[in-house]
Amino acid sequence: MDSFEKKILVTGGAGFIGSNLVNYFVKKYPDYLIVNLDKLTYAGNLINLRDVENAPNYRFVKGDILDKSLLDKLFGQYDFDTVLHLAAESHVDRSIDSPDDFVHTNVTGTVNLLNVARKYWPNTEGKLFYHISTDEVYGSLGDTGKFTEKTCYDPHSPYSASKAASDHFVRAYYHTYGLPVIISNCSNNYGPYQFPEKLIPLTINNIIHNKPIPVYGRGENVRDWLYVEDHVRAIDLIMHQGRNGETYNIGGNNELKNIEVVEKLCEVTDEFLGRSPIGISKKLIRFVKDRAGHDWRYAIDINKIKTELGWQPAVRFDEGIRKTVQWYLDRQDWLKQVTSGAYRNYYDKMYKNRGL
Ligand code: NAD
Ligand code: DAU
């Protein structure tokens, strides 16, 4: 174990961003040991990690960040120097339906990890607790302006409130105990392995199966979309070169109204499926009751990470969305597998509630 240059605990590494990150880190850094701790909720799937499951520098541990004795055991066993904390309940709609899991995992789970890191890192030299967070902590923008690292926190959903609380705890451990920490707050990711409850994979899945596509309100809300690989590259850079105690905002410089995203997905998917005329799937679009407290617009000022670390998004939306649609079309086995079981009931109930 001591032969590894770094020993990294990744939490939530079987989810969307986590699995993209683990796949990337395990291959790029053969001298780093990557230990992936994941509870495998409905959102975590080991098939996301097939490519690396037998790699000599990778270990998987099924477990819950609420399990303090497990965290203690893992820190004792592996002597981690870095924590990349991604485990979370991540879906806003679910947080509206049942906030409790969000408080438990996102807030209490983060505090458990902070406590165990503090206990095992009396000497903080070379140590880093990196919390992967969201731009939603900043609340909602009107038609102009962008979130900077100095924007005041103003979370609106139970999800964003729980992420804001966890960010506050991370900073509190930096100020109070001197724990070395970094936080990054990122905008909407898209790409392979995203669970098909989120707008982009849900839309692609519904187009494939000729099912109605629910668009909340009038579809005019704006999100800033970032290809997941670009996010992973940013995390890599921040982990290695970011400054202790700092926050970095990450965004795609790519604001789109939801309806624009959905229409684009209809066109690209129709093209790839050979449906004619291209765009015919737009007939599946249904405007449904708006999300409660629906944030109007997110946009990110990426100046800090750009000037300090030289990062900027590399994948243009047109290119990223074509790669994404192609991936889901090629991996319909994956879509089928992750939407079977318990998720099916949630999905059916949601559709019934929306009158679809
Ligand atoms: P996801 O829902 O796809 O994956 C979350 C993972 O965490 C799953 O593998 C799940 O099994 C695991 N998990 C959940 N509860 C756990 C627990 N109690 N113990 C251990 N593991 C647990 O989420 P994602 O979209 O990949 O997001 C990852 C992180 O990035 C989250 O912290 C999220 O807030 C943040 N983030 C996401 C986005 C985005 O657009 N998806 C943007 C910015 C920030
Ligand atoms: O901004 C970062 C956040 O992006 C992350 O922190 C969250 O974990 C991630 O889930 C995402 O949150 P959103 O709520 O923005 O993502 P979602 O894909 O759920 O919705 C995107 C937009 O599309 C939002 O305005 C709501 C709308 N929408 C969503 C769904 C699921 C619809 O119109 N119809 C839908 O069926």
Return d(Cα 288, Cα 182) in angstroms, integer: 39
| 90 pocket-lining for ligand 2 (C-beta < 6 Å) | yes
Looking at residue 230, its pLDDT comes to 98
Each residue's pLDDT tens digit, 273-319: 999 999 999 999 999 999 999 999 999 999 999 999 999 999 999 99
167-185 pLDDT, tens digit each: 999 999 999 999 999 999 9
pLDDT at 344: 72
Phi, psi of 29 (to 5 degrees): -125, 75
Alpha-carbon distance 67 to 53, whole Å? 24
- 136 catalytic, yes or no? yes
Element (H, E) at 58: strand 58-62
Name the residue of 199, 258, 260, 302 whose CB sits within 8 Å of the most ligand 2 atoms, as the mutation to test its pocket: 199
Neighbours of 118 (CB within 10 A): 16
Phi/psi class of residue 339: alpha, beta or left (left: φ > 0; alpha: ψ in -120 to 50)? alpha
Residue 159 is a catalytic residue: yes
Distance 198 CA to ligand 2 centre (A): 6
Return left, alpha or beta for 79; rule: phi > 0 is left, psi -120 to 50 is alpha, else beta.
Answer: left
From 41, 305, 346, mutation site for ligand 1 pocket: most ligand atoms within 8 A of C-beta: 41
How many helices (H) and strands (E) in the chain? 13, 12
Give the pLDDT confidence score for residue 1 in this predicted structure. 65
Report residues of the chain scoring pLDDT below 70: 1-2, 342
The question of whether 216 is a catalytic residue gets the answer no
* Best CA proximity match to 129, nearest among 98, 170, 73, 185: 170
pLDDT of residue 341: 74
**In 3-state terms, what secondary structure has residue 201?**
helix
d(CA 98, CA 96): 6
Contacts of residue 312, Cβ cutoff 8 Å, sequence gap at least 6 = 253, 302, 306
Instruction: Provide the pLDDT for residue 92.
Output: 98
Ligand 1 midpoint to CA 39 (Å): 11
Handedness of CA 107, 109, 110, 112 (dihedral sign): positive
Catalytic residue among 64, 81, 89, 136: 136
Which residue has its alpha carbon closest to ligand 2 atom 25? 221
Tell me the domains of the chain and their CATH numbers.
6-187+227-250 (3.40.50.720), 199-222+255-338 (3.90.25.10)
Of 56, 181, 203, give the one whose Cα is nearest residue 114: 181
